[in-house]
Each structure stands twice: as structure tokens, then as C-alpha cells.
């Protein structure tokens, strides 16, 4: 496409990590900025499609603030660097992580394809802007997924221009993509990604691009490859690179009680696997089975709440990161004196295919939530909004919930008795042993109902073993 200024730039430079929220997702904070190049041929505009090559599954979006150089910059000092920026606009640093392995470090094939750098639609005059007062937001299908401000940057804009200009001459029209905030993830064909940069009442307008399925790649050269590592990298904290829960195992667990599962885990030496103090919002008939996606709250600090509690905070990110079959598990420090989720976010979790929600804090809108088709376990109903007791802090990490250690990917089972945590590697064997235990207990119950004494029967002793085996074959 033509550059928004009329001519194609000599280069497009992208920053790897710059927003602290993204750095926390990635688990590292760089001491210095690092960069990669995108070809000018990757530029596109609003309305242009994001073409995901056939065979790829990991088309990613990254909403970014783009700087357009207005005046040649060669070895400029940080104090003078902003004067060399002509315009600011919105950008989407798109890519396909299925090809990232082929050019590790350079990102050429994964992020350099034609159309993988939409920018626009409007250019804001940099001279009229405070570079530390810009807001970047990204929507996918109308739902906000990224929201951050330029006052949080690890490396301010002027520092980037000065650093680059020490060794690379920046020509008028060159574009610098300044990094993406938390929330960047995967978009699928049919999804529309919109990015907007605002400065007070000034706006770039929404840069809008829809993902489409492109034709197949020619069968020479590197071909798409998606494994757990690639998926974890692409999805960010939205992806749990843990063993998935086999559907047959999940079905078996749905038919088992938490009491039986707890008993079986105790036999394996696991005695602290219950999430204590939580009960189902929907009554005794609730059953929940899924894998854990975690959210941690920290105690309220008023000076930090606006920064961490506003906008697309960790609470909202955790909801948007949910994948079908996952249970959102919240560490609210066993403090139920404030709500940690209400009806709107619970509805959003349900729409995203969540298997349930567990919080050792409070639940807002409890009557409405109880009527939803979503298992929710909580420590008590409370009307207070977020900000009374908690600050939502981060997602996708090991937490404590109701006294139990929960790791992302752990298996959660909930019923009227509460919630238990199952290490995923033992889930198949545990389910089989628990099913056998429950069969024995049904047999024992029938005998007790017939008037048999429990001595030698409960637990099942040798005298009853043959009778039980016959009963088991008849009832299998």
C-alpha cells in the first residue's frame, strides 16, 4: 500500500518489549530496548485484510503506537529526539507464530508478510502531543482486549529515537512500532481487530482489519509448525501450555464426587487439595470440571489502584484470556468482604466457554449469577465493587485459593461439597480408582440398607470380596 504520507518508508522498526504489562506477561524486563525490522512491503491500511496463510493457526495481533519520523535523525540526543518525530498513529504488529521458528530472532517470515503491518487511519501531529499522555486500545470483535498508556513505558519514545539514531539513520517517513501492552493474542479468520490511539480529544480513528484465510503456501521452504511452545508464545497468558484434559477423563470426573476424589488423593499422600470455604452459587446440583486459569488479587493500595485497577486490568484480562473448558480460579486472600466477580463478567466468562469460576473472595450479583449456566463457587455474597479490598494484579501464575496451591493447568472438580484440585498427570488413574471406590460404596450401601452390619463390610473386607465381584459384573 502507499505510505500514509505518500511515499513508502525506507524501513519499519519494531520494539520487542516496552510496556511493563507485556513484560510481566513474558516474564522478563529488558535492561535495554531490542528491535527487529519489518519490510516496508508489510504496510497496509485500515480495511485491508490480514491474510492468514492456509495451514497456520496462530495469527496474532499487537496493537501499538506508531511513530512516523518527520525529520532526519542521525546521532540525536534524547533531549532533542522527539523533535524528529513528525506524526503518531495506530498500528497492528501482526504475525503468524507458526513460522516464527524458521527465523528465530529476525521474525522475517512470521511478521514480515505483505499486509502484516496495518497503520492509520489518521496521523496526529507530534508537535501538538505530549508523548507521555497517549492511550492505546485494541478491540477484537468489539470487545476491548488491550488498554494502556504511554506514561508506563520502559523506554520512552524519545529514548527509542535517540538509541536507534546512534547507529541507524532514521529517514523522514520511517516508522517505529513502539511495543504492545498486555493482552496481545491470537485472532482467527472472521475476527476483526481494531486499534486506536488517543491523545485527549484527538484520535487516530480506529484502524480496522479483518482476518481472512489465505491460500496455501508453496510447498518449498519452511512450512507452518504449531506446537505447545508456539501456542504459548502466541496466545500469551491466554494459553496454558499444560497437558489438556482428555474428554474421556473429564466425563469420568463429572460422574465422581469431590469426597471420593479427595479420599483417593489422600491415599496418594495429597492431603491439602481442597479449596476451603467456597460453596456453589447455583445450589447443590452444580457440577464443575475443567482446567485452571488463574488470577491473583493483592491488598488494596489506593495509590496503585488507578494504575492496576482501571482500564483493561488483570481481572478483565483474565476473563478475556479464558478458553473453552477452563475454570477461572481467583486468589482473593480468603477475604470475602468485597466482590471479585459479578454478573457481567460471569456472563462474559460463560460466553467464552468457561467451565466455571472459583473465588475465595466475594461474589456480587449472586442471585443473577446463581441462575446462569455457569458453575460459580465463592466464599460469600457481597455487594461491594472492586476497589474496596482488592487490586487485580496478574494472571496465569501459581496462586493460593482457599488454602490450596493452584497452578495453571491443574484440574478442578466442584460439587455441593466444594472444590478439589487434581494434578493433571494423575487425573486418569485417580478417576479410575475413584470410580472403583464409588462402585464399592454403592454395593456397601445396598447391603447396609438390607440390614447387614458394617463390620467387615465397610470398608470392603475379604468375606464380601467375591460377592462384590459378582455384583460388579452384573452392574457394569
| Boundary-marking domain end, from 216, 238, 260 | 238
pLDDT at position 6 is 64
Task: Assess if residue 4 is contained within a domain.
Answer: no
* Same domain, residue pair 268 and 210: no
* Same domain, residue pair 320 and 374: yes
pTM score > 0.75 for this model? no
Residue recorded with cell 465381584 = 469
Binding site listing: 342-345, 364-365
Give the residue among 4, 471, 448, 27 at the shortest CA–CA distance from 236: 27
Tell me which residue range forms the domain holding 365.
247-428
Q: How far apart are CA 235 and CA 185, in angstroms?
A: 5
pLDDT at position 241 is 41
Binding site listing for Mg(2+): 365
* Same domain, residue pair 261 and 213: no
Task: Assess if residue 279 is contained within a domain.
Answer: yes
Binding site listing for substrate: 342-345, 364
* Same domain, residue pair 221 and 251: no
Domains held by the chain: number? 2
Output the tens digit of pLDDT for each of the chain's 476 residues: 445 556 789 999 999 999 988 887 777 888 999 999 999 999 999 999 999 998 888 999 999 999 999 999 999 999 999 999 999 999 999 999 888 888 877 888 889 999 999 999 999 999 999 999 999 999 999 989 999 999 989 999 999 999 999 999 999 999 999 999 988 999 989 999 999 999 999 999 999 999 999 988 888 888 888 877 778 778 875 444 444 688 899 999 999 999 999 999 999 999 999 999 999 998 778 999 999 999 999 999 998 888 888 877 889 888 888 888 999 999 999 999 999 999 999 999 999 899 999 999 999 999 999 999 999 999 999 999 888 999 998 888 899 999 999 999 999 999 999 999 999 999 999 999 998 998 889 999 999 999 999 999 988 889 998 999 899 888 87
Residues 6+ apart with CB under 8 A from 41: 112, 114
* Same domain, residue pair 251 and 233: no
pLDDT at position 12 is 96
* Same domain, residue pair 139 and 172: yes
Task: Assess if residue 6 is contained within a domain.
Answer: no
Instruction: Specify the pairing of strand 50-54 against strand 207-216.
Output: parallel
Task: Assess if residue 39 is contained within a domain.
Answer: yes
CATH code at 316? 3.50.30.40
Task: Assess if residue 262 is contained within a domain.
Answer: yes
Task: Assess if residue 466 is contained within a domain.
Answer: no
Instruction: Write the CA distances from 51 to 41, 111, 129, 302, integer angstroms.
Output: 14, 12, 33, 45
* Same domain, residue pair 337 and 221: no
pLDDT at position 3 is 54
Amino acid at each position: 500500500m502507499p505510505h500514509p504520507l505518500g511515499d513508502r518508508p525506507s524501513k519499519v522498526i519494531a520494539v520487542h518489549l516496552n510496556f511493563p504489562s507485556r513484560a510481566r506477561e513474558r516474564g522478563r524486563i529488558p535492561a535495554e530496548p531490542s528491535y527487529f525490522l519489518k519490510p516496508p512491503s508489510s504496510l497496509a491500511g485500515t480495511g485491508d485484510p490480514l491474510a492468514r496463510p492456509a495451514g497456520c493457526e496462530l495469527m496474532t495481533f499487537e496493537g501499538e503506537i506508531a511513530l512516523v519520523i518527520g525529520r532526519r535523525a542521525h546521532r540525536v540526543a534524547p533531549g532533542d529526539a522527539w523533535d524528529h518525530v513528525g506524526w503518531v498513529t495506530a498500528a497492528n504488529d501482526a504475525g503468524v507464530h507458526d513460522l516464527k521458528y524458521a527465523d528465530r530472532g529476525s521474525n522475517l517470515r512470521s511478521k514480515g508478510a505483505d499486509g502484516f503491518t496495518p497503520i492509520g487511519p489518521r496521523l496526529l501531529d507530534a508537535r501538538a502531543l505530549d508523548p507521555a499522555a497517549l492511550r492505546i486500545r485494541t478491540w477484537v470483535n468489539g470487545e476491548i482486549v488491550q488498554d494502556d498508556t504511554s506514561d508506563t513505558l520502559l523506554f520512552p519514545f524519545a529514548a527509542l529515537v535517540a538509541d536507534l539514531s546512534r547507529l541507524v539513520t532514521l529517514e523522514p517517513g520511517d516508522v517505529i512500532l513502539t511495543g504492545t501492552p498486555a493482552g496481545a493474542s491470537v485472532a482467527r479468520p472472521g475476527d476483526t481487530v481494531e486499534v486506536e490511539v488517543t491523545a485527549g480529544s484527538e484520535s487516530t480513528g480506529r484502524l480496522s482489519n479483518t482476518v481472512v484465510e489465505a491460500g496455501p503456501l508453496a510447498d518449498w521452504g519452511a512450512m507452518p509448525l504449531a506446537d505447545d511452545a508456539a501456542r504459548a508464545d502466541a496466545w500469551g497468558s491466554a494459553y496454558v501450555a499444560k497437558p489438556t484434559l482428555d474428554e474421556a477423563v473429564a466425563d469420568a470426573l463429572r460422574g465422581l464426587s469431590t469426597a471420593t476424589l479427595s479420599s483417593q488423593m489422600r491415599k496418594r499422600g495429597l492431603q491439602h487439595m481442597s479449596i476451603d470455604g467456597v460453596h456453589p452459587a447455583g445450589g447443590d446440583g452444580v457440577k464443575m470440571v475443567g482446567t485452571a486459569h488463574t488470577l491473583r488479587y493483592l491488598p488494596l493500595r489506593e495509590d496503585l489502584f488507578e494504575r492496576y485497577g482501571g482500564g483493561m486490568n488483570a481481572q478483565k484480562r483474565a476473563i478475556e484470556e479464558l478458553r473453552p473448558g477452563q475454570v477461572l480460579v481467583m486468589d482473593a486472600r480468603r477475604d470475602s468482604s468485597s466482590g471479585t466477580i459479578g454478573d457481567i463478567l460471569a456472563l462474559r466468562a460463560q460466553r467464552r466457554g468457561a467451565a466455571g469460576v472459583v473465588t475465595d473472595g466475594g461474589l456480587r450479583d449472586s442471585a443473577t449469577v446463581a441462575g446462569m449456566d455457569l458453575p460459580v463457587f465463592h466464599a460469600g455474597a457481597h455487594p461491594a465493587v472492586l476497589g474496596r479490598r482488592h487490586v487485580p494484579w496478574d494472571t496465569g501464575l501459581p496462586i493460593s485459593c482457599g488454602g490450596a496451591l493452584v497452578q495453571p493447568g491443574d484440574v478442578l472438580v466442584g460439587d455441593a461439597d466444594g472444590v478439589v484440585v487434581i494434578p493433571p498427570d494423575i487425573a486418569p488413574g485417580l478417576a479410575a480408582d475413584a470410580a472403583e471406590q464409588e462402585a464399592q460404596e454403592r454395593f456397601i450401601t445396598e447391603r447396609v440398607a438390607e440390614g447387614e452390619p458394617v463390620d467387615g463390610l465397610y470398608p470392603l473386607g475379604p468375606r464380601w470380596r467375591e460377592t462384590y465381584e459378582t455384583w460388579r459384573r452384573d452392574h457394569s
